[in-house]
Amino acid sequence: MRETPAPRETASGAGPEHPQPRPGRAIAHTAGASRSGTPHRSDVRPPHTPRGARHTGPAGRTGTTPPVPARPASRRSRAGVAAVCGLLFALITWQVAAHGPLRAADERLGRSLFHDVPAAVAEPLADLGSMLVAPPVLALAVVFVVWRGREWRRAGAAVLAMAAVPALVAPLKLLIARPGPLEPGTGWYPSGHTATAMVAYAGAALLVSPYTRRRWPVPVAVVLTVATGIGLVLRGYHWPLDVVGSWCLFGAVLVVLCSPWSGSAGVSSSGRRRSSSRTRTG
């Protein structure tokens, strides 16, 4: 049972007086008490929560700066892919030049595949690697990225990769001097049509991919490159290892020349869009 305070009488005897609130205690807990010049004890107490101990970042925001993505890891992965392609090409070239067991198995496989598909189907696939079809595709991609994003380095890398096709294929054909499957003469390893198709379609895909919302150019380039090699083998223009050797050689060339610049357009173009939006809003 709560006790009620007894009424007090004043000195003049005027009657009971209600108890008055004592200043300095309850007022300190009311709203606006910190404005009076004597802040509440909890206002001057140092913060003990993790939020209060955070440091501000460079832009003044709470928290720390996020870590930068590790670029050396991507460089190591590209170097690993190029090394694997180079080792496979060296192995295939050694077997072809030395008449090894891999070459014998390759020729048996090639003879079993020749003319299994009608020429009306195999011939258009083989023509995908001709100079009249593949290089114009790369040229259109080069013009597009130069016009759209002024990506001179990426365009130059793709052109350099295409220039490497005759510079590497022609000496190797003379050095290996492999006879053709159905045609007379030598100089069929590695396949020049396969190299042209791979560099043109894969280079165009790497150039255009940063400007597309979906990653469809790379799968399309893979399909076109593989279709070219299949058409060349089924038509009897090349042995299977002629095609595989070109894939390995120019896979390494594309990784070395074009892959370092494959994502730069997306970063630079998004950066330009962000800077232009800041300029308009400012």
Identity of residue 102: L
Nearest by Cα to 178 from 251, 93, 90: 93
d(CA 139, CA 79): 27
The pLDDT value recorded for residue 262 is 55
Query: What letter does residue 194 receive in the DSSP assignment?
Result: H
pLDDT tens digits for range 231-247: 999 999 999 999 999 99
Helix (H), strand (E), coil (C) string for 35-69: HHCCCCHHHHCCCCCCCCCCCECCCCCECCCCCCC
Task: Give residue-wise pLDDT tens across range 26-53.
Answer: 444 444 444 445 555 555 555 555 554 5
HSE-CB of 75 using CA atoms within 13 angstroms: 4
41-45, 55-59, 93-97, 265-269 — which is least confidently predicted?
265-269
In this prediction the pTM is: 0.69
**How far is 190 from 248, CA to CA, in rounded Å?**
10
- Thinking of the domain 77-265, which architecture would CATH place it in? Up-down Bundle (1.20)
